[in-house]
Structure 1
Amino acid sequence: MQYENIQKAMGVDIAISKKMSTAIYQWGKMYTNEAPWVKGDIKSLGIPASICTEMARLVTMESKIVISGSARADMIAQYMEPFLCNLSRYVEYACSTGGISFKPYMDGKGIAVDVTKAGYFYPVSFDSAENITGVIFPEFKRVGKKLFTRLEYQQFVDENYRIINKAFVSRQAQVKNDNVINLGQEISLEEIPEWENIEPYVEFRNADRTLFSYFKIPVANNIDPESPLGVSIYARAADQIRDADEQYGAALWEYRSKETAIQATSEFFKHDRQGNAIMPKGKERQYVDMGNNVTDTDGKPFFNVYSPEIRDESFFNGYNKIIQKVEFNSGLAYGTLSDPQVVDKTAEEIKMSKQRSYSTVKAIQNKLGDALRVLVNAIDAWITIENLAPPGNVNLAMSWDDSLVTDKKAEREQDLQDLAAGIMQAYEYRMKWYGEDEKTAREKVATPAEVIEE
């Protein structure tokens, strides 16, 4: 990815090394089934996308995110609703390239959230805790052969917050999904109707937060250890993913190359007027005309059934072993992508495998929770800046499902046994399994006489 034009236009250095930008580019290509090794007989199995989809499902399934406390909190919840409806998709994108940014902005009707994947926004500076404090967000608009680009630079330094907007037009319209080639000539924001109300420069004093949030996948960066940016969830499994694609391609070639065929001299076939052998309709690939006057070792007209043994079992056993390595290096439990019927593991090893997956999911959930808090705070700040609502308490409560390592059915059966034995009280059971508070649970299990006495 070429950053030189953006750096020159905004007068800042982009804090992404060449090694890191190349890795982000490759992870993105793998996610979209366009890895460099996918060509010819080697097809993509879509493993990177499957890993991200499954991880996002585990992270967000049955998650509950509630914003409450005041009319101001209700407004934030309303603005966040469309965003939260697509949370699983955003987590999947973050898993693919290592991170994603959430930037609230005024859209004329209220506050919306702009979501930008890694590789499509440009970090400029970080603080000591590796939080992004300066970043450039590009926006593109095509009109005929012209390409209009808006660069928005946000910087948070020493309680001062600056937002700088610049617009450019290129008559070559050279832009790709992952590569800005030519910004062109700088123009006024007012020349584009959608940008005419955007201020070129805004500064806020006494700032205590950024107006954007960065969700980072919590995997140690072994691509560029000096970079604070996150890495793809499958960064350490890239070589094994390539091996899996190649192994699967080899297995398919095994099937194609050893298809059953009938090899016979021309005497066994009917012929058209031109003397060409006529093959059974729909089975042309199954028959091979060996030519005229071809005989076997006994001098008889040649006739042979070609049906060699297919080594599919060994091919797919090898493939499954590779997929298990992909699972291990991506933080997934064995059997998530591989064939669970051939997971030759002890009960303790399976438990450790699930625990590894659980640890990965919990780490991502914690980082996601941090990113959501920063996002809610940023929306809260915009409400204050635009004077949209009076001050009020804003409480963010998040809960995540833990069924990955907990057998809910077995746990409930055990609680029922404890209830029957008097170890657990009925109201405690209702509080745990029906989500009731203590007062409601006690009222539900109270006898009529107890209610009258109260």
Structure 2
Amino acid sequence: MGAIQTYLQKKRKFGGVSDATYNHIDEWLAWYQNSVRKFHIYWIYDGIQSKKCERYKLGMAKKVCEDWANLLLNEKVAIKAGTFDKRLKEILEINNFHVRANQLIEIAYALGTGALVEYRDAADQPIIDYIRANMIYPLSWDNGDITECAFGSVRAVDEKERIYLQIHRKGIPGDGENPNLYYIENKYLDSETGDEVALPEDIEGIVATGYDRPLFQIITPNICNNVDLDSPMGISVFANAIDQVKGCDLVYDSYMNEYVLGRKRILVPYSQAKILAEQDGTRQPVFDPNDSVYFALPGDRQDDMKLTEVDMSIRAADHEQGLNKALDLMSLKCGMGTGRYKFESGGVKTATEVISDKSDLYQNLQKNKTPVKAALVAMVKALAFLETGADQLEVNVDFDDSIIEDTNTTVDRNIKLVQGGLRSKLTAIMEINKCSEAEAKKELERIAEDGQITGQDIDWTQGDEEKEDHEDNLEPDEEDEEAEA
């Protein structure tokens, strides 16, 4: 995408991040794709010639990013937007949000940066684009927050490859634009020369959003970029764990080679491996030369005429111990603590038990929820603005906390707190149902209308005073019947 950087720097006089940042992104992408040529391809000299070998790979760089995406944005995450909630669900479904957003988190944690971009298409429908790091080109930023940005993608137009460039910027007063509002420039570039070409007829050159906030949200892992301290771009979650990812592959490669090199072999004296003539004149070898079990000894080894079995032992236990140590180190460096992964039964297993709130994984998970939540809230408000022209609404994002605490445990705790007078019923319903205060009030009203605040539920649904009044109004016989019940 060098054509985009050239265009932005020379044609539009925009600034940008250094090329070194994108070089690192290319390196992280190679590890994410599990194909790093300078590491996974190596040569071995066998005394006669050099042999090209490919290292066995465990692929933990991608696995870590998959797990972060599943922890942060899975199917249990609920986004509530009040009166806009119904239309929001429709928009998210049209844009395949729950699938694509999870994939965006994965690629953002692999490459360091991802972006959600909102706009209206030619059919006037709200669209969400999911952009990875090597397609993101910051133009200006303030205190690390990107305020203006360009997003590139490759498209085929009239059987020619074009670069579609969408520039989100503030208004330029000299061009008669409002400097406090955002505008979107649409550009098509020649993929080879970087020259600007004509736009398709259904795309406008400049679109005034009328919005004082950007119609994009940047998502990065909540860790400091120590590769380029001045860059507004994020850093891969495994950027500082490359050596540990290499260690996992090295041990796994050695482990697999134990089985390759440790196959049972039978050494055959050269005299017994000779080709013998049959009575009909055909010539047949005593042993099949393509058989990987039998190997002929050199011709000068004639003193031992017996078949010799070579059965090397496999150091499976030693390799599994070393691999589990390597996995622990890698997991720790990627923010997931130790014990997350374990190599057993021929593969890597992931721990699924409930974690402690003092563990490294819990603390890092809570930390990484912050930028994701901010991005989702801003995205919902941007979609509401595109639909209604206003973004004044309450947005709640409830993440999946089942890894920390079981849902039944949450319900039981709230029941005990309400019974003990230490929590209101309204707060309890908000936590259990993961809803807003207004929705919790409606739920309480529905409970009252359904007549569920009676009998055995009185301790949970009524206060102590209501309970006493209820008991005072009972006749003696009714008191005995209720006591028996």
What's the TM-score, normalizing by structure 2? Answer: 0.74
Distance 1:247 1:438, change over 3 A: same
State the one-letter code of the partner of 1:46: G
Task: Name the counterpart of 1:140.
Answer: 154
Q: How far 1:251 moved relative to its partner? A: 2.0
* Counterpart contact for 1:293–1:301, Cα < 8 Å: no
* Counterpart contact for 1:41–1:249, Cα < 8 Å: no
Distance 1:329 1:425, change over 3 A: closer
- How many percent of aligned residue pairs carry the same amino acid? 20
Distance 1:168 1:295, change over 3 A: same
Q: How far 1:250 moved relative to its partner? A: 2.0
Q: In the alignment, is residue 46 of structure 1 matched against residue 59 of structure 2?
A: yes
Task: Name the counterpart of 1:94.
Answer: 108
Within the candidate set 112, 126, 136, 2:141 is matched to 126
Task: Name the counterpart of 1:239.
Answer: 243
Q: CA separation in 1, counterparts of 2:117 and 2:457?
A: 57
SS in 2 for 1:338: strand
State the one-letter code of the partner of 1:227: S
* Counterpart contact for 2:147–2:214, Cα < 8 Å: yes
SS in 1 for 2:332: helix
Within the candidate set 258, 277, 280, 2:285 is matched to 277
Q: How far 1:384 moved relative to its partner? A: 4.9
With 5-14 and 145-154 compared, the bigger mean Cα shift is at 5-14
Question: How do 1:255-334 residues align onto structure 2 when only pairs under 5 Å count?
Answer: 255-268=259-272, 271=275, 273=277, 277-279=285-287, 284-290=291-297, 294-296=301-303, 300-334=304-338
SS in 1 for 2:134: coil
State the one-letter code of the partner of 2:197: I
Q: CA separation in 2, counterparts of 1:415 and 1:161?
A: 46
Q: In the alignment, is residue 444 of structure 1 matched against residue 452 of structure 2?
A: yes
Distance 1:13 1:317, change over 3 A: farther
Q: How far 1:15 moved relative to its partner? A: 2.2
Q: In the alignment, is residue 168 of structure 1 matched against residue 189 of structure 2?
A: yes
Q: In the alignment, is residue 220 of structure 1 matched against residue 224 of structure 2?
A: yes
Task: Name the counterpart of 1:187.
Answer: 197
| Structure 1 residues not aligned, in runs of 5+ | 175-181, 190-194, 342-349, 386-390
The structure that has the greater radius of gyration is 2
Q: How far 1:53 moved relative to its partner? A: 0.9
Q: How far 1:43 moved relative to its partner? A: 3.1
Q: CA separation in 2, counterparts of 1:252 and 1:11?
A: 54
Q: CA separation in 1, counterparts of 2:155 and 2:16?
A: 26
| Structure 2 residues not aligned, in runs of 5+ | 42-52, 172-178, 346-353, 435-439, 463-469, 475-485
Q: CA separation in 1, counterparts of 2:357 and 2:409?
A: 20
List per-residue Cα deviations over 1:67-123 (Å, max 9, x = no partner).
Answer: 2225xx543442223343223222112111112111112221511111110111211
List per-residue Cα deviations over 1:286-327 (Å, max 9, x = no partner).
Answer: 11122567434xxx4143211223333323322221111110
Distance 1:411 1:269, change over 3 A: farther
List per-residue Cα deviations over 1:167-226 (Å, max 9, x = no partner).
Answer: 2335xxx5xxxxxxx32x43221xxxxx31322234466x42112111222111111111
* Counterpart contact for 1:216–1:230, Cα < 8 Å: yes
Q: CA separation in 2, counterparts of 1:301 and 1:5?
A: 74
Q: CA separation in 2, counterparts of 1:449 and 1:360?
A: 40
Question: How do 1:23-34 residues align onto structure 2 when only pairs under 5 Å count?
Answer: 23-34=24-35
Distance 1:80 1:202, change over 3 A: same
Task: Name the counterpart of 1:116.
Answer: 131
Task: Name the counterpart of 1:60.
Answer: 73
The Cα RMSD (Å) is 3.7
Q: CA separation in 2, counterparts of 1:400 and 1:449?
A: 30
Task: Name the counterpart of 2:258.
Answer: 254
Which gives a bigger RCO, structure 1 or 2 (Cα 8 Å, sep 6+)? 1
Q: CA separation in 2, counterparts of 1:131 and 1:227?
A: 10
* Counterpart contact for 1:93–1:117, Cα < 8 Å: yes
* Counterpart contact for 1:258–1:308, Cα < 8 Å: yes
Q: CA separation in 1, counterparts of 2:272 and 2:457?
A: 96
Q: In the alignment, is residue 199 of structure 1 matched against residue 204 of structure 2?
A: yes
Aligned residues, how many? 414
Q: How far 1:266 moved relative to its partner? A: 4.2
* Counterpart contact for 2:357–2:404, Cα < 8 Å: no
List per-residue Cα deviations over 1:396-438 (Å, max 9, x = no partner).
Answer: 221112233335566777789x69xx75899969946677745
State the one-letter code of the partner of 1:68: G
State the one-letter code of the partner of 1:119: N
Within the candidate set 374, 377, 390, 2:378 is matched to 374
Q: How far 1:58 moved relative to its partner? A: 1.1
